[in-house]
Amino acid sequence: MRRFTLIAVPYLWLLALFLVPFIIVLKISLSDVALARPPYAPHFDWATGIWAFLSELDFENFVWLSEDDLYWKAYLSSLKIAFVSTVLTLLVGYPMAYAMARAPEEWRATLMMLVILPFWTSFLIRVYAWMGILSNEGFLNQFLLWTGIISEPLTILTPNTAVYIGIVYTYLPFMILPIYAALERLDDSLIEAAEDLGCSRLTAFWLVTIPLSKTGIVAGCFLVFIPVLGEFVIPSLLGGSDTLMIGKVLWEEFFSNRDWPVASAVAVVLLLLLIIPIVLFQRNQQKQQEAEQ
Amino acid sequence: MTIPVFEPWNDPEAKPLIQFQNVSKRFGDFTAIDDLTIGIYEKEFFALLGPSGCGKTTMMRMLAGFETPTEGAIFLAGQDMAPVPPNKRATNMMFQSYALFPHLSIWENIAFGLKREAMPKNDISDRVDEMLRLTRLEKFARRKPHQISGGQRQRVALARSLAKKPKLLLLDEPLGALDKKLRQDTQFELMDIQEKTGTTFVIVTHDQEEAMTVASRVAVMDNGKIIQVATPDRIYETPNSVYVADFIGEVNIIDGIATPTGEDRYSIAWKEGQAPLNVTSATAFSDGQKCHLAIRPEKVTINAEEPSGVDNVVQGKILDIAYLGNISTYHVELPSGAVIKAQSANTRRISRRAFTWEYTVWLSWTATAGVLLAT
Average pLDDT, chain A: 86
Beta-strand runs (E) in B263-335? 265-269, 277-280, 289-295, 301-303, 312-323, 327-333
Closest Cα in chain B, distance from residue A207 (Å): 10
Instruction: Pick from A209-213, A276-280, B115-119, B355-359 the range whose average pLDDT is largest.
Output: A209-213
pLDDT digits (tens, 9 = 90+) for B156-169: 998 999 898 898 99
**C-beta atoms of A189 and B99 within 8 A:** yes
pLDDT digits (tens, 9 = 90+) for A27-56: 888 888 877 778 887 777 777 777 777 777
* pLDDT score recorded for residue B105: 93
* pLDDT score recorded for residue A88: 96
Q: Using CA coordinates, name the residue in chain A closest to B92.
A: A196
Query: Residue A258's pLDDT band (boundaries 50, 70, 90)?
Result: confident
Kind of pairing between the strands at B265-269 and B252-262? antiparallel
pLDDT at A22 over 60: yes
What is the pLDDT averaged over residues B200-207? 90
User: Does the structural domain B1-90+171-249 have CATH classification 3.40.50.300?
Assistant: yes
Distances (CA, A) of A113 to A118, A170, A213: 9, 16, 21
Closest Cα in chain B, distance from residue A137 (Å): 51
pLDDT digits (tens, 9 = 90+) for B219-278: 999 988 999 999 999 999 899 999 999 988 889 999 888 888 888 888 888 877 778 888
Report DSSP letters for B126-189, one per residue.
HHHHHHHHHTT-GGGTTS-GGGS-HHHHHHHHHHHHHTT--SEEEEESTTTTS-HHHHHHHHHH
CATH class of B250-373: mainly beta
pLDDT digits (tens, 9 = 90+) for A103-144: 998 999 999 999 988 888 888 888 888 878 878 888 888 888
Residue percentage of chain B with pLDDT more than 90: 38
pLDDT at A191 over 90: yes
Closest Cα in chain A, distance from residue B361 (Å): 55
Closest residue by Cα to residue B165 from B128, B120, B133, B217: B128
Return the SS3 of B44.
Answer: coil
Inter-residue contact B109 to B101 (CB < 8 Å): yes
Residue percentage of chain B with pLDDT more than 70: 99
* pLDDT score recorded for residue A292: 66
> Which residues of chain A are within 8 Å of residue B146 when distances are taken between CB atoms?
291
Give the DSSP H/E element, type plus range, for residue B259.
strand B252-262
For the structural domain made of A69-292, what CATH number should be given?
A: 1.10.3720.10
DSSP state for residue B66 in the 8-state scheme: S
* pLDDT score recorded for residue A293: 60
| Interfacial residues of A (vs B; Cβ cutoff 8 Å) | 187, 189-190, 192-200, 203, 207-208, 211-212, 214, 291
CA distance B15 to A79: 68
Model pTM score:
0.78
Instruction: Pick from A52-61, A245-254, B65-74 the range whose average pLDDT is largest.
Output: B65-74
Pick among A191, A195, A197 to test the B interface (most B CBs inside 10 A): A197
pLDDT at B112 over 90: yes
* pLDDT score recorded for residue B9: 84
pLDDT at B301 over 60: yes
Instruction: Name the residue ranges covered by the structural domains of chain B.
Output: 1-90+171-249, 102-165, 250-373
> Which residues of chain A are within 8 Å of residue B112 when distances are taken between CB atoms?
194, 197, 207
What is the pLDDT averaged over residues A57-62? 83
**C-beta atoms of B95 and A197 within 8 A:** no
Instruction: Name the residue ranges covered by the structural domains of chain A.
Output: 69-292
Of A199, A208, A214, the CB nearest to B116: A199
CA distance B27 to B62: 13
Report DSSP letters for A23-82, one per residue.
HHHHHHHTSEE-SSSSSEE----TTT-HHHHHHT--SHHHHHHHHSHHHHHHHHHHHHHH
Closest Cα in chain B, distance from residue A106 (Å): 18
Query: Residue B115's pLDDT band (boundaries 50, 70, 90)?
Result: very high
pLDDT at B8 over 70: yes
Q: Using CA coordinates, name the residue in chain A closest to B87.
A: A198
Closest residue by Cα to residue B157 from A56, A196, A108: A196
What is the pLDDT averaged over residues B174-187? 81
Q: What is the ipTM of this complex?
A: 0.80
pLDDT digits (tens, 9 = 90+) for B57-102: 899 999 999 999 999 999 988 889 888 999 989 899 999 889 999 9
* pLDDT score recorded for residue B3: 67
pLDDT at B1 over 60: no
Q: Using CA coordinates, name the residue in chain B closest to A288.
A: B103
What is the pLDDT averaged over residues B180-205? 86
